[in-house]
């Protein structure tokens, strides 16, 4: 028997955006399951409606096991939010190692394949579901030195669009969000190795946003809640720019 509340899984739950997404979803009365490499910093928030798991989402067997347990316990998986990700320090291509390229592709792209593949059978079983992936405005409005990160975010968007057409007959909607530069710890990791991080934040990132400020995690959480909701019931295969106009 399925519980009455909707059940939403969030990866990258311990991150800047992930934590805001958990908060907004809980305020909307959902049951939320958060996955991250370490959820220790969130442990005191665990409750009847918030389950937390230390999971490396690149470990397919572990992800499958956690998703199966969630479905067994609640009888439903309504939403999946992929908010996991890693940054690339701005680096000329000739200095980027193949290991760094592979690491970005694994965490930012392969992880999406693993979590989505794990969630879809449960959504198909109930003929309803919504998947939201956090990509990046840099996929369409690039900055120099971020070529691997940008490629990974372009792949994330294409993957979502491919799934949107594949899963539409099952009433599963798949959408992407492109955040602009956002006020989380990740932002400083995009600076070049010897750059002054605070200066880069103010002079490069804030300056690049027409609306004049960094994106707040709550801005992303609001967009996630919309895309998961019935208000977006005819929205699939789209990319919502939450970037203060950075993409213009
Ligand atoms: N911060 C920005 O400026 C910005 C801009 C555009 C897009 N984004 C994207 O938004 C998303 C969220 O970023 P954020 O700013 O919250 O970053 P963040 O670094 O605060 O959070 C990312 C989280 O992902 C987790 N994670 C990384 N690898 C993992 C793995 N293998 N298994 C499980 N968890 C893992 C990290 O532990 C971290 O908690 C990312 O996809 C990022 O690329 C961020």
Residue 104 and residue 96 in contact, taking contact as beta carbons nearer than 8 Å: no
> What pLDDT score does 230 carry?
97
Q: How far is the CA of 11 from the centre of ligand 1 (A)?
A: 9
- What is the per-residue pLDDT across 71-85, written as a single tens digit (0 to 9) for each? 999 999 999 999 999
Measured at the CA of 5, the angle between CA 216 and CA 111, to 5 degrees, comes to: 55
DSSP string across 135-199: --GGGTS--TT-HHHHHHHHHHHHHHHHHHHHHGGGTEEEEEEEE-SBSSGGGGGGS-TTS-HHH
> What pLDDT score does 192 carry?
83
CA-nearest residue for atom 39, ligand 1, is: 15
Tokens at residue 242, please?
């939450």
Beta 31-36 vs 50-54: how paired, if at all? parallel
- What is the per-residue pLDDT across 140-152, written as a single tens digit (0 to 9) for each? 999 999 999 999 9
In whole angstroms, give the CA distance from residue 89 to residue 86: 10
DSSP string across 49-118: TEEEEE--TT-HHHHHHHHHHHHHHHS---EEEE----------GGG--HHHHHHHHIIIIIHHHHHHHH
74 is an active site residue: no
Confidence of residue 198 (pLDDT cuts 50, 70, 90): confident
Q: How far is the CA of 167 from the centre of ligand 1 (A)?
A: 26
Q: Would you say the CB of residue 79 lies under 6 angstroms from ligand 1?
A: no
Q: Would you say the CB of residue 187 lies under 6 angstroms from ligand 1?
A: yes
Is the C-alpha dihedral spanning 215, 200, 12, 237 positive or negative? Answer: positive
Tokens at residue 40, please?
């220790």
- Token pair 């798991």 is found at 53
Confidence of residue 43 (pLDDT cuts 50, 70, 90): confident
Share of the chain above pLDDT 70, in %: 100
Question: Angle formed by the axes of helices 60-74 and 111-126, to 10°?
Answer: 30
Q: Would you say the CB of residue 83 lies under 6 angstroms from ligand 1?
A: yes
- What is the per-residue pLDDT across 94-135, written as a single tens digit (0 to 9) for each? 999 999 999 999 999 999 999 999 999 999 999 999 999 999
- Choose which CATH entry (3.90.1150.10, 3.40.50.300, 3.40.50.720, 3.30.70.1560) describes domain 7-238: 3.40.50.720
């Amino acid at each position: 028997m399925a519980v009455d509340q909707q059940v939403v899984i969030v990866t990258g739950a311990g991150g800047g955006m992930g934590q805001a997404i958990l908060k907004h979803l809980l305020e909307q009365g959902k049951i939320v399951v958060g996955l991250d490499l370490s959820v220790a910093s969130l442990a005191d928030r665990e409750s009847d409606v918030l389950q937390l798991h230390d999971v490396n989402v690149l470990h397919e067997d572990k992800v499958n096991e956690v998703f199966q347990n969630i479905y067994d316990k609640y009888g439903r998986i309504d939403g999946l939010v992929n908010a996991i990700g890693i940054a690339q320090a701005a680096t000329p291509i000739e200095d980027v190692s193949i290991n760094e390229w592979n690491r970005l592709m694994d965490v930012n792209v392969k992880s999406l394949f693993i979590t989505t593949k794990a969630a879809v059978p449960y959504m198909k079983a109930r003929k309803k579901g919504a998947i939201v992936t956090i990509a990046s405005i840099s996929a369409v409005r690039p900055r120099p030195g971020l070529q691997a990160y940008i490629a990974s975010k372009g792949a994330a968007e294409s993957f979502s669009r491919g799934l949107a057409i594949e899963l539409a007959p099952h009433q599963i909607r798949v959408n992407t969000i492109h955040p602009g530069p956002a006020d989380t710890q990740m932002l400083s990791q995009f600076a070049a190795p010897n750059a002054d991080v605070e200066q880069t934040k103010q002079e490069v990132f804030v300056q690049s946003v027409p609306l004049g400020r960094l994106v707040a995690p709550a801005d992303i959480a609001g967009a996630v809640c919309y895309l998961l909701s019935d208000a977006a019931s005819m929205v699939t295969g789209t990319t919502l720019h939450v970037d203060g106009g950075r993409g213009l």
